[in-house]
Amino acid sequence: MAVFGSDTPMKRAGQPFELAPAYIYLASDDSRYVTGETMHVNGGGFITS
């Protein structure tokens, strides 16, 4: 697991405390007007097909 996340621009895996605010936002009334958006909480890494 030492290499998990090392291929992202942040050079490390995200920690739960870094991901949780995005989930809380999406579950809250603050996001009630947000539709059809993609929130990438991935440290700048992405996978394309």
Domain range for residue 12? Answer: 1-29
Choose between 44 and 28: higher pLDDT.
28
Q: Within a domain: residue 44?
A: no
Q: Are the beta carbons of 43 and 6 closer than 8 angstroms?
A: no
Number of domains in the chain: 1
Q: Within a domain: residue 6?
A: yes
Q: Within a domain: residue 11?
A: yes
* CA distance from start to end of the chain: 24
pLDDT in tens, 10-29: 888 889 999 999 999 999 99
| 29-37 mean pLDDT | 93
Q: What pTM value is reported for the model?
A: 0.68
